[in-house]
Structure 1
Amino acid sequence: MIQTKLLNDKKKAIQSLETIVELKNLHKSFGDNKVLSGINLIAKKGENLVILGRSGSGKSVTIKCMVGLVHADEGEINIFGEDITKMDAAILNEIRVRIGFLFQNGALYDSMTVRQNLEFTLKHHSPYLSSTEIEEAILEALDNVGLKEAIDKMPSELSGGMRKRIGLARTLIIKPEIILYDEPTSGLDSITSREISELILYVQKKYKTTSIIITHDMACAKLTANRIIILKEGVICSEGSYDELEKSKDKSVRSFFI
């Protein structure tokens, strides 16, 4: 009874928050392959929303549509209350500056040191910062992920977990209001995966970010999610907390929790 009340209280708290992302009737096909068939979802301010689904269910396409990396065929994508599907490139870029994207492989530039990777990103987004401000921002971002000592290392000198952390530091350095995580624990051992999941929670708490997390890692989903949605054949088939979905009577939903 107490646990149920806590879950209900959390739901009410989230529902009362400002909507930051809202997708309405989103469709996307690649030739004859229909990937999204009318997605409707919202993400609230400060919420961690996890998206689950089998390969090919449209998870990654959904978040790529949110930043204009993939153009939707139909529907609305409202970010900060603005429909980005109707924006020209210049205005869309102003929205993108407020969004961080952590790619599955970290997407670091192999020819640059960690410092240079972060500096390149920061200068691109904030070209008028002084060298002192840039250095302070780099050190703060690395401190957030616990890797200040790696500042002059090359990506090839880093482990998979360290590369993910540096990728997150590069995302955090622009102080995004939204972070999109694409398989943040993919390819990592269970201990490192948990460290990354805990880091996602730390970022949420410290920066009040709205995060959308694509993952196959149920341990990550359980630890990080305020709410979970499950995609199946291009539509949302179920939604709820981890505990609620784990108890679902739908076999396809329960299969994620086995």
Structure 2
Amino acid sequence: MIKEKENTEPAAEADKKAVIIEIKDLHKTFGKDNHVLKGVNFTVNKGEDLVVLGRSGSGKSVTIKCIVGLITPDKGEINVFDQNVLDLNKNELNEMRSRIGFLFQSGALYDSMSVRENLAFTLRKHKRDLNADEIEKEVLEALESVGLSEAIDKMPSELSGGMRKRIGLARTLILKPEIILYDEPTTGLDTITSREISELILDIKHTRKTTAIIITHDMACAKLTADRIIVLKEGKIQAEGTYEELEKSEDEWVRSFFE
């Protein structure tokens, strides 16, 4: 396994405190013998964008759904913000989730609501103390951050695939999350739009100081956004390193992602 470059600076001890997500020995089986996760271990540091690669069915999406409590693992430990997710009650879990943004593949917009209503609904659900003017201000700021303020009165059916992704991201950003989980953010998009979304992910990291896990099959997205990459194979981590390190891996299977 390729490991991240060793930090020999005195700040190494401080870096340990910067871990914001820690996964230990994560296992998940569906049914009797569909063993999706078989002992996954990794950490994500504050401010880091970690890309997760792997073939379909390797456990990528299951892993991030476990992180936010959408799926309960059979075994393991998930520490987020120094809390074990598996020990949280419903209210504590909802409080933690309010600090985490989740961008689904589809964007997950409500088709019966306009763009304004989609974003406002999210705010009303999580920030009940805001008045109408404050909600409108937050909606406009979120849309401006993804370059789509002019789409505020459009319905989802009027949006292109790239616009839906951006609106979905604006709805995620409106709660000002500290962590964002991106599930295939560029799937189904053309090359130019995919790059625009990848650049937006990078911009969000720098302007909002977020931490992210990015699941993707798009190697251009991985190259542009990743501080570090882990590669899942059959429910286990096969390799870990920077894009440049993994591109030169001696493991032919790992290298195949980069060809």
Q: 1:153 maps to which residue?
A: 154
Q: 1:74 maps to which residue?
A: 75
Indicate whether 1:19 and 2:19 are aligned.
yes
Distance 2:22 2:133 in 1: 38
Instruction: State which drifts further: 12-21 or 164-173.
Output: 12-21
Q: Deviations over 1:126-179 (max 9, x none)?
A: 011111111111011000000000000000000000000000000000000000
Distance 1:151 1:46 in 2: 30
| Amino acid corresponding to residue 107 of structure 2 in structure 1 | G
**Alignment CA distance shift 1:80-1:56 (3 Å):** same
| Amino acid corresponding to residue 248 of structure 2 in structure 1 | K
| Amino acid corresponding to residue 124 of structure 2 in structure 1 | K
| Amino acid corresponding to residue 59 of structure 2 in structure 1 | G
**Alignment CA distance shift 1:86-1:147 (3 Å):** same
Task: Spell out the pairing of 1:159-170 with structure 2 (5 A cutoff).
Answer: 159-170=160-171
Q: 2:48 maps to which residue?
A: 47
Indicate whether 1:248 and 2:254 are aligned.
no
Q: Deviations over 1:20-71 (max 9, x none)?
A: 1000000000011000000101011111000000000000000000001100
Q: 1:220 maps to which residue?
A: 221
Q: Runs of 5+ in structure 2 lacking a partner?
A: none
Q: 1:4 maps to which residue?
A: none
Q: Quote how far apart the aligned CAs of 1:11 are.
A: 9.7
Q: 1:3 maps to which residue?
A: none
**Alignment CA distance shift 1:84-1:199 (3 Å):** same
Q: Quote how far apart the aligned CAs of 1:77 are.
A: 0.4
Q: Quote how far apart the aligned CAs of 1:10 are.
A: 9.0
Q: Quote how far apart the aligned CAs of 1:86 are.
A: 1.2
Distance 2:142 2:107 in 1: 15
SS in 1 for 2:72: coil
Distance 1:147 1:58 in 2: 33
**Alignment CA distance shift 1:157-1:101 (3 Å):** same
Q: Quote how far apart the aligned CAs of 1:8 are.
A: 5.8
Q: 1:29 maps to which residue?
A: 29
Q: 2:99 maps to which residue?
A: 98
Distance 2:163 2:228 in 1: 27
| Amino acid corresponding to residue 155 of structure 1 in structure 2 | P
SS in 1 for 2:71: coil
What is the total number of aligned residue pairs between the two structures?
Answer: 252
Distance 2:236 2:211 in 1: 22
Task: Spell out the pairing of 1:184-203 with structure 2 (5 A cutoff).
Answer: 184-203=185-204
Instruction: Give the TM-score of the pair, scaled to structure 1.
Output: 0.95
Q: 1:144 maps to which residue?
A: 145
Cα root mean square deviation, aligned = 1.7
SS in 2 for 1:132: helix
Give runs of ≥4 in structure 1 deviating > 4 Å.
7-15
Distance 1:251 1:29 in 2: 28
SS in 1 for 2:112: coil
Q: Quote how far apart the aligned CAs of 1:89 are.
A: 1.1
Q: Runs of 5+ in structure 1 lacking a partner?
A: 1-6
**Alignment CA distance shift 1:25-1:200 (3 Å):** same
Q: Deviations over 1:210-258 (max 9, x none)?
A: 1000000000000000000000010101000000000001001000001
Instruction: Give the TM-score of the pair, scaled to structure 2.
Output: 0.94
Q: 1:172 maps to which residue?
A: 173
SS in 1 for 2:102: strand
Q: Quote how far apart the aligned CAs of 1:90 are.
A: 1.4
Task: Spell out the pairing of 1:226-237 with structure 2 (5 A cutoff).
Answer: 226-237=227-238
